[in-house]
Structure 1
């Protein structure tokens, strides 16, 4: 009896994504804010790319990094949201094994890439505030390109083990993933083998990448705040700190959800599954939505260019 009802899922051809278990009846309604946020993220980040590319005055290190951040946000949200919406709208739950591993890789890789870009932006703020007279000589285009390449290579290399670790496991229980996308732990938990290596590597990756990045940003801002407090007037201190507000908001938008998501995934056993899945799904789209808004509102050059575009005024 048990043998007849057991399917061999070793290297399964497809996985089944359930969406948000327990809220299936509300999938259509849930899709409305997700679709709105995804549309906003696409429009916002493409606007940032268009403005930075078109405006010569924005061809500087901070905006080069912002350009990279916009590309990363577009890829990260597009890796999960279209499939998520197809589940909500058309009940299209199947995803091939290879597509699932590819999605897993892109989600983790570009999340780490985004973290690395925020570190690069923190370094830019550090140089601009602590060494303002040397900013243009330190952050030359060749150094910016090397930093960008280092961020990309680190993310690409360190996330390679995720799909390989998942592929080598035997899946003999089920191919049903109670999630809206193929997260690493959500997939390997379906295996009928010891997954400690995968779990340990996930923890190692989290702390070696995100932990190091948070430490680097903390060191940068310690030096920045020290320089700000040594400024002679309150107005000068506020004006200088104001140049960091957009970056700080972007940091909080990324890191707070990452740590909450990672901790609840491993230790939040009392958190209802549907709340956990809903939160992780929201995480995929919130930073890409917030970053263009943050920089569009807080950055004078981008705000001015946006006003010119909407009022059809020539520069």
Structure 2
């Protein structure tokens, strides 16, 4: 049987199955997914609107929160509409080009998201350990440049993925057991050797995520050391409260990301539908939970959001 390659000029397409084993429940599963997606959009657009309108919120911490929200909106919008088409209308086909674009876009956004979380940790480090120079070290212009650096870094790391996919032959099996085009989900249906793809995927997880987590851990180690040197217990609490929201977001994000990535590669004993559901929830829960966490823990943002909601 003749194989075809992603570089071929034909118009072959892949088929996304949705959630294998739970096809009969697709309609019911789509209800919470759609609800989470809409809530996440509304919350993040509200944060973006309020930060944009209120000059007092034009500060590095809130600009970084907006960047984080944009990555989460982008990721969920890249996968949820297609997933809902599968669940509601059984539209499972996706072109090879569309699959590659979705795959690369999702991974670029994910790596950018990780880098922004790291930048937020550095922001908290400067705010607590060097407060007198905070306004000069982290200006809004510098934060914007750091955001661009995060995006460029992500593009450079993800750029090899389409090249690695392009070398793989795809034979008769064009069925992807997923709701979206994940790198390893697509690679696994190839009839060629995917060893390089596996290794590069793991390299991305451990180098990119490992580096970002190391910087975050070091930043918070230095923050804790600085806080412990403060004699006032009230000052301890105030300093740590400024980090609580960010720590909660990191724990939620890293737990879901590590589970999703590692079970995809070492999925022995884990049902495929469990991995797929967790993978989708990663892109749905973060946009929904992060604005809530920051809204609860950040009084200034909470007050501004409440002001606009009361006007409606």
What is the TM-score when the length of structure 2 is the normalising length?
Answer: 0.96
- Greater displacement, 72-81 / 294-303: 294-303
2:72 and 2:283 in contact (8 A); partners too: no
SS at match of 2:14: strand
In the aligned structure 2, how far is the partner of 1:116 from the partner of 1:200? 21
Q: How does 1:109-258 map to 2 (within 5 A)?
A: 109-258=108-257
1:276 match:
275
CA shift for structure 1 position 142 = 3.2
2:184 and 2:198 in contact (8 A); partners too: yes
In the aligned structure 2, how far is the partner of 1:296 from the partner of 1:247? 12
1:9 and 1:175 in contact (8 A); partners too: no
1:9 and 1:174 in contact (8 A); partners too: no
CA shift for structure 1 position 143 = 2.1
Q: Deviations over 1:234-279 (max 9, x none)?
A: 2211111011011011111211111111211111211111112111
In the aligned structure 2, how far is the partner of 1:301 from the partner of 1:177? 46
In the aligned structure 1, how far is the partner of 2:51 from the partner of 2:292? 15
Where structure 1 has 5 or more consecutive residues not aligned to the other structure, the ranges are: 1-5
SS at match of 1:243: helix
In the aligned structure 2, how far is the partner of 1:141 from the partner of 1:28? 45
Q: Deviations over 1:6-47 (max 9, x none)?
A: 574443611100000110000000000000000011111111
In the aligned structure 2, how far is the partner of 1:158 from the partner of 1:20? 29
CA shift for structure 1 position 146 = 2.2
In the aligned structure 2, how far is the partner of 1:21 from the partner of 1:278? 10
SS at match of 2:169: coil
2:3 and 2:169 in contact (8 A); partners too: no
Instruction: Report the aligned-residue RMSD.
Output: 1.3
CA shift for structure 1 position 195 = 0.8
In the aligned structure 1, how far is the partner of 2:31 from the partner of 2:191? 37
In the aligned structure 2, how far is the partner of 1:140 from the partner of 1:279? 37
2:47 and 2:305 in contact (8 A); partners too: no
Where structure 2 has 5 or more consecutive residues not aligned to the other structure, the ranges are: none
What is the TM-score when the length of structure 1 is the normalising length?
Answer: 0.95
In the aligned structure 1, how far is the partner of 2:104 from the partner of 2:294? 28
